[in-house]
Structure 1
């Protein structure tokens, strides 16, 4: 199955075409084994997969009811692209997903369990975290587990070797890229085969050019993509494209991060885990980052992209029709909301940051501590393009649009006109 067909499938929802077995849950149905909790996981990469296995094992060990977790792991991109039909079909009891708009969208469609009763007993979560876990109806549907900031990552040793200085402004960023090119480096590791990595660059360019409020409004479908402010974003992007790795639409995020690790490229706009998971343990201390540079002084570097990942209950899970099975699934969520649950996970995957204020930060690496400083000092926090807008708009419009721009950045007018036309059609329909 081609990527384009997968993307089409993500937007179609539960239609005539059956969902491939890629995301098929294998539950026992109502009245089955109520102590076995079925978990839909998108953590297919080795590091988080092992860390989650450790966390789930810790839950099973402390469970007084001898509850077990059966994990259904699916390739990360496949999971995202098929999530709509997965939730409308035969989903697992609990599944991994994202906070903010991406959660609210499915809550509005009636595909998530209201867990407000659990939230009344949660501790250690800020009001901001609760807001990101709350649907448009004011009810909670999401248990946050960790977050990670996006920034411009590099190897400290490469900067030291060449005498590079972290740029504060976009002009300085361009000049640094030019120097890296002279030094025989690919200045900016760049990729978009997976469809989402380049969205991070768009988000930062937009928030630095037009501010956080405009960015959020644009993602909500309330602004015109033909607005000069949006064209300015793509014009800035065109300035740095000559210094990005060529052939980005054919490169995976893992390959781009590995080029940074191999000292073939100088910088990369990524989330903390994307870099950390591709660096061997002996190289971890060499990972460094700086905030995406300022474009307009009135917005500075105020906004930080820091997606929150966590867990939800699928309303269509057949097992959850059974009262005991629902009780088991909620028991797991209660445990996942504890500092201890986060501590176990982060011991195996130090590329994320705990969300619970009671989590043990004593063992945080210098990189993690710097990440905490970046996010805690932000005036605004965004979730990521494909989490801050409708999933169908992100998958069927923005993924191909950004890939088209990367392949041919000359026709910005044609690009934004096409996006705007499709946006009007999608946002005119009921979520």
Structure 2
């Protein structure tokens, strides 16, 4: 079941104050295990001894933020194993069935539920009894398995939007587009001005998912999108083909050769004013030096179908789970409770400008202008999706949709055959 998060649910109570690594040797090789120190005795139910944390925060900014947050964890000794983000995500199933860490970074909603149903995560409902008042009902729903128990601790989240540099737009006289026609007209003007209109990268496989998500929600609405993600709709449906037709029309405005470019490189092209705009998560700010961050702004992707307007966005929630094979469950729960504290999330959002705190008790007074705008965007959305690879089965996202989108980008005129192949594979997976 996919949790459907409405704006009213998510905002209730606050303004959002709110590898292969299935084997330890490879985990150790990919990351740099480091002791995070706690000389203090264990407190409460936390067992003495080491707690291990498997982390996908491999980029410089989020890694620094996490390192700083866990320095304040003094209930147990802590060892963190950091693995490249994509490697972590692509091999998570083998990891959890092998010898996982006690706690691991993961995602809310469907992806959390999938591993909970497989018996690969520990029920942390007892933790939620202690910290539940710090979260809105929607955050709790996104942390709840199909059995009604909680398996996830929300830490931060971020919206997806179209980012741009204010100074470049002011210099060129660009205006925020309200419709797809205005968006394509703007892209043509940017190209005439010598810019690559839309920064684009899909070397890692997942960024293109955000483009599909927004085009599908704009053209066909949120309900159809989440139903498609749940395997309840056919990929040969004319409505899905329409999305790919729309996308094909936009590809001419995207950076060339995206399959050889990382999202970080595309973000740097935006920062360097070589591209005019970039559809990505707010974490794009991580690639901007602090001196340039006030020049970064965004708008929500424009209207395609008036029936749905711009009522839906992607706003993924990141957080932590306790693995079913945890050696120190009590210590793991103590760490999860540490992440739940508003003070921990305040540290993270102050060091990572592309994130917002999940806790309703977090201090938003220190948010940057960009972070405040991000919170406003989410608060104004009627429907909030988690992102394609979080709103559907992990195996379908990784083995079917990543190669499908990359195939489309490389050969955009073969839509019918592509969708037939996707549907055939989907039918084998969603049985």
Whether TM-score is above 0.5 comes out as yes
Contact 1:22/1:74, CA 8 A, preserved across alignment = no
Task: Give the structure 2 partner of residue 261 of structure 1.
Answer: 271
Q: CA shift at 1:164, angstroms?
A: 0.3
Q: CA shift at 1:19, angstroms?
A: 4.9
Structure 2: how far apart are the matches of 1:74 and 1:381?
28
Q: CA shift at 1:22, angstroms?
A: 3.0
Contact 2:401/2:422, CA 8 A, preserved across alignment = yes
Q: CA shift at 1:347, angstroms?
A: 2.0
Task: Give the structure 2 partner of residue 322 of structure 1.
Answer: none
Count of aligned pairs between the two proteins = 397
Structure 2: how far apart are the matches of 1:89 and 1:23?
11
Q: CA shift at 1:51, angstroms?
A: 0.7
What per-residue deviation string (whole Å, max 9, x for no partner) do you get for residues 219-239 of structure 1? 000000000000000011011
Structure 2: how far apart are the matches of 1:326 and 1:228?
49
Secondary structure, counterpart of 2:79 in structure 1: strand
Secondary structure, counterpart of 1:243 in structure 2: coil
Secondary structure, counterpart of 1:362 in structure 2: helix
Task: Give 4+ residue runs of structure 1 displaced > 6 Å after superposition.
Answer: none
Task: Give the structure 2 partner of residue 311 of structure 1.
Answer: 320
Task: Give the structure 1 partner of residue 417 of structure 2.
Answer: 414
2:287 is the counterpart of 1:284: no
Q: 2:138 aligns with which of 117, 120, 128?
A: 128
Q: CA shift at 1:121, angstroms?
A: 1.4
Q: 2:181 aligns with which of 154, 165, 171?
A: 171
Structure 1 residue runs of 5 or longer lacking an equivalent are: 1-5, 11-17, 28-32, 320-324
Q: 1:386 aligns with which of 371, 379, 389?
A: 389
Contact 1:23/1:86, CA 8 A, preserved across alignment = no
Secondary structure, counterpart of 1:249 in structure 2: helix
Structure 2: how far apart are the matches of 1:233 and 1:23?
39
Structure 2: how far apart are the matches of 1:230 and 1:193?
23
2:50 is the counterpart of 1:36: yes
Cα distance change on mapping 1:86 and 1:212 into 2, 3 Å: same
2:230 is the counterpart of 1:220: yes
Structure 2: how far apart are the matches of 1:402 and 1:312?
29
What per-residue deviation string (whole Å, max 9, x for no partner) do you get for residues 351-370 of structure 1? 20011111011111111000
What per-residue deviation string (whole Å, max 9, x for no partner) do you get for residues 347-392 of structure 1? 2112200111110111111110000000011111000000000000
Task: Give the structure 1 partner of residue 339 of structure 2.
Answer: 336
Structure 2: how far apart are the matches of 1:93 and 1:378?
35
Structure 2 residue runs of 5 or longer lacking an equivalent are: 1-18, 35-46
Q: 1:186 aligns with which of 196, 210, 214?
A: 196
2:26 is the counterpart of 1:22: yes
Q: 2:103 aligns with which of 77, 94, 103?
A: 94
Q: CA shift at 1:112, angstroms?
A: 0.2
TM-score, structure 2 length as denominator?
0.90
2:205 is the counterpart of 1:233: no
Contact 1:23/1:79, CA 8 A, preserved across alignment = no
Task: Give the structure 1 partner of residue 92 of structure 2.
Answer: 83
Q: 1:301 aligns with which of 301, 310, 320?
A: 310
Task: Give the structure 1 partner of residue 119 of structure 2.
Answer: 110
Secondary structure, counterpart of 2:307 in structure 1: coil
TM-score, structure 1 length as denominator?
0.90
Contact 1:208/1:299, CA 8 A, preserved across alignment = yes
Q: CA shift at 1:329, angstroms?
A: 1.2
Contact 1:308/1:383, CA 8 A, preserved across alignment = yes
Structure 1: how far apart are the matches of 2:360 and 2:333?
21
Q: 2:366 aligns with which of 357, 363, 366?
A: 363
RMSD: 1.6
Structure 2: how far apart are the matches of 1:169 and 1:99?
31
Q: CA shift at 1:34, angstroms?
A: 3.7
Q: CA shift at 1:334, angstroms?
A: 1.3
2:58 is the counterpart of 1:49: no
Q: CA shift at 1:244, angstroms?
A: 0.3
Structure 1: how far apart are the matches of 2:404 and 2:320?
30
